[in-house]
Amino acid sequence: MTYSPFIEPFLDMMLAERGAAANTRAAYARDLADAASYMESKRKTKLEKASEDDIRAYIMHELRAAAARTQARRLSSLRQFYRFLASEKMRDEDPTRNIDAPKLGKSLPKYLSEKEVLALIKVVKKVKGYDGARLRAMLELLYASGLRVTELVSLPIGAVLFDRGVVQVRGKGGKERVVPLGDPAVVAVKEWMEYRKISAAEEKKSASATRVAASRFLFPSSSSKTGYITRQRFFQMLRQVGIEAGLAPDRLSPHVLRHAFATHLIEHGADLRSVQTMLGHADIATTQIYTHVATDRLAKTVSEHHPLAGKRKK
């Protein structure tokens, strides 16, 4: 894959100055490497020297079949890259300045109903032993706090403060926040801690189990390079119990449970600022999407059940 030598300094800047998460950095790297490859193979130029016409050609021809959201993200990556080059005096102008991003329709987040979440928790409670205790703790924590999946899997062992009933989280950009937990989540994590300290070594009788017990992470893994259970593994476990709970596989993911956390709070009267703080959103505009979800649901309820709504029965 073609790779411009100017991409790495840009990615380092995003990490150092803007606190970009590893996943965000990786996404920028993929987008820019793809654009660099196109520029050299089709436009016979370097990414850092591309003109406005080159960028338009890339969007019109290379991305023509991509979804509008994908096109918008790729263009955003290029904008950030060229603004960085301009700020560093590596080029005089930003070739994306006159290019409009595709219009995106309002996309409401997918989420589960309270009944569906309870059904999922009921199935998870039936999973026995070490794996069951871990999955219950992760699920209860996720639904109780609305953590991002990366935040959840990488929690340090002391993140949950049992005496205060809260979880301390280091989110995007290294920003820390404290999120209160309900009793079910606190109890589930306490039960998991007992398995973590004792059952891992006693049941598996292996050196890897000993390393797991000594890990600094709340949800450790001896087979993961990071030292904690991977997002992919948690997703797989979650999807499996979701099927047993009668949920379609494409309706369930860790992020769907984050959406459920926020939506259910709003529906039960939580104020937007509090939800913003708990979710770790930098801009309240990001949180406002959940008010639309709640409003749409209320409108549907009125339409279906109010005696004066819709057509009168004859």
Burial code (b: 16+ CB inside 10 Å, e: under 16) for 222-247 equals eeeeeebbbbeebbebbbebbeebeb
Which residues have a catalytic role annotated? 148, 172, 255, 258, 281, 290
Confidence class for position 222, pLDDT limits 50, 70, 90: confident
Confidence class for position 120, pLDDT limits 50, 70, 90: very high
Asked if residues 51 and 95 have their Cβ atoms less than 8 Å apart, the reply is yes
Q: Where are the domains of the chain?
A: 7-87, 114-250
- Identify the weakest region by mean pLDDT among 122-136, 184-198, 221-235: 221-235
Report the greatest alpha carbon distance in the chain: 74
**Alpha carbon distance 130, 135 (integer Å):** 9
Q: Which of 82-91, 108-117, 278-287 has the highest mean pLDDT?
A: 82-91
Residue 216: which residues within 8 A CB-CB, separation 6 or more? 156, 157, 227
At 295 the pLDDT is 64
Q: What is the CATH number of domain 114-250?
A: 1.10.443.10
Q: Which residue has the higher pLDDT, 220 or 223?
A: 220
What is the value of pTM for the model shown? Answer: 0.65
**Residue 38 token pair:** 């196109």
List the 166-170 sheet strands across, edge first: 160-161, 166-170, 176-180
- Is pLDDT at 173 greater than 80 in this prediction? no
Sign, CA dihedral 64-67-69-74, equals negative
At 105 the pLDDT is 58
Q: Which residue has the higher pLDDT, 294 or 147?
A: 147
At 171 the pLDDT is 83
Residue 238: which residues within 8 A CB-CB, separation 6 or more? 135, 139, 252, 253, 254, 257
**Alpha carbon distance 286, 26 (integer Å):** 22
Mean pLDDT of 164-186: 91
